[in-house]
Structure 1
Amino acid sequence: MIPAQKASTGGSAPDAFQQEAERLQDLMQDKGELLLRVQTLRQGLSDWRTKLNDQVRDYQEEMGSLNTTLKTEVSQLRSEFNQLRDTLRQQMELTVSLANGEKKTDAASTVPQKQF
């Protein structure tokens, strides 16, 4: 350095170092705040994932329960339908049987009987 420059910058060097130190301190504080914010966001994300996983598990259990209930009800309805179909079939057979029996009795009553 030229001696003339030393004289002109000699008094401002501590000020420059002081400004750099303050700037470095501000940057370190900003870094700390950002790290804290990132940590808070990570914790929030972790909490959100935990809640989401709990909800998914609860909904899956509920859906499984509803599916089981639905299968049971469908099975019961099929059974009832089969019983109704069998009952209807029996009633129709009985009706046909009775109708055929009436025709036979009608036919027997309409046959002229010879008198001796």
Structure 2
Amino acid sequence: MAADVVTLCGSTRFKDAINAENARLTMEGNVVISLGLFGHTDLPDYDWTTDATDLKTMLDRLHFQKIDMADRVHVVNVGGYYGESTAREIAYARSIGKPVTFMESRPGDPS
């Protein structure tokens, strides 16, 4: 039986939680596609909230490709939180028929 491919989504400020979910899902036998860059820690002086440069556009495009490659998307939402970028990724995944699961349940978020 082939392993599921799971793409992780979530705020880069949750680097430790994302890495922990990566490890947990891997140990369950999944192929995990994670974030390639944790902007909040890897580039702490970069203003991700106002950036309209090619870097953010390219990284967003890459993450959508990772969603395309997945069997499902898993959202790392510590305390139920996810921001606008993750909300766009969730909407995109659902629009192409990918199941979405959440690390923590949040009222109004169907899986």
TM-score band w.r.t. shorter chain: under 0.3
Structure 2 length as normaliser, TM-score? 0.18
- Say which structure is richer in strand: 2
- Say which structure is richer in helix: 1
Structure 1 length as normaliser, TM-score? 0.17
Higher relative contact order at CA 8 Å, sep ≥6: structure 1 or structure 2? 2
Larger radius of gyration: 1
